Amino acid sequence: MPQLVSIQEISEETGLEESLLRFYESEYPSELPDKILQGDMLAFDVCAIEAFQRIHDLHQGEQLEPTAGEGRYARVIAVTSGKGGVGKTNIALNLAIEMQRFGKMCIVLDADMGMANVHLLAGIPAGNNIRDIISSGRDIVDIIAEGPEGIGIIPGGGGILSLADSSRHDRMKVIDALRTVEKEAEVIIVDTGAGMGSSVRDFLACADDLLFVLSPDITSLADAYGLLKALHHEKMSERPVYSVINMVETLKQAAGVAHRFSSCAHEFLGRNVENIGYILKDSTVAAATVRRTPYSVFKPQARVSKNTRNIAAALLKNEESTIRVSSAFGRYMNLLRAQKM
Residues 209-268 that bind ligand ATP (CB under 6 A): 246-247
Stated length of the chain:
341
Q: Name the β-bridge partners of 312.
A: none
What track of x and - describes contact with ligand ATP for positions 275 through 314 (by CB under 6 A)?
----x-xx--xx--x--------------x----------
Phi, psi of 38 (to 5 degrees): -125, 110
Helix (H) or strand (E) holding 268: none
Give the range of 80-88, 147-155, 261-269, 282-290 binding Mg ion by CB under 5 A.
80-88
Indicate the residue among 83 and 88 with the shorter CB distance to Mg ion: 88
**Burial zone of 230 (CB within 10 Å; 0-12 exposed, 13-18 middle, 19+ buried):** middle
When asked if residue 84 is in the footprint of ligand ATP (CB under 6 A), the reply is yes
> Angle 8-10-15 (CA atoms, 0-180°, nearest 5)?
95
Any residues with CB less than 8 A from the CB of 314 and at least 6 apart, and which?
A: 276, 277
CB closer to ligand ATP out of 79 and 145: 79
Select the residue interacting with ligand ATP from 11, 30, 90, 305 (CB under 6 A).
90
One of 89, 166, 199, 246 touching Mg ion (CB under 5 A): 89
**Contacted by 87, from ligand ATP, Mg ion, none: CB < 5 to 8 Å by type:** ligand ATP
Q: Return the beta strands (E) in the chain as ranges.
A: 4-5, 36-38, 41-45, 75-81, 106-110, 145-146, 152-154, 187-194, 209-214, 241-248, 274-280
x/- track of binding to ligand ATP for residues 105-124 (CB under 6 A): -------x--x---------
Total site size for Mg ion, rule CB under 5 A: 2
Chosen residue from 7, 74, 86, 160 binding ligand ATP by CB under 6 A: 86
Which residue lies nearest ligand ATP, judged by its C-beta? 84
* 3-class secondary-structure state, position 271: coil
Indicate the residue among 73 and 203 with the shorter CB distance to Mg ion. Answer: 203
Closest C-alpha to 154, from 173, 135, 182: 182
> Which does residue 247 bind out of ligand ATP, Mg ion, none, counting CB within 5 to 8 angstroms by kind?
ligand ATP
Segment near ligand ATP (CB under 6 A), from 46-54, 68-76, 86-94, 176-184? 86-94
Burial class (CB in 10 A: 0-12, 13-18, 19+), 188: buried
- Nearest residue to Mg ion by CB is 89
Cite the DSSP H helix spans in 116-217.
Answer: 118-122, 132-135, 140-143, 168-184, 198-204
Q: How far is the CB of 37 from ligand ATP (least distance, A)?
A: 44
The residues of the shown chain that bind Mg ion, judged by CB under 5 A, are: 88-89
Interface ranges with ligand ATP (CB under 6 A)? 81, 84-90, 112, 115, 193-194, 246-247, 279, 281-282, 285-286, 289, 304
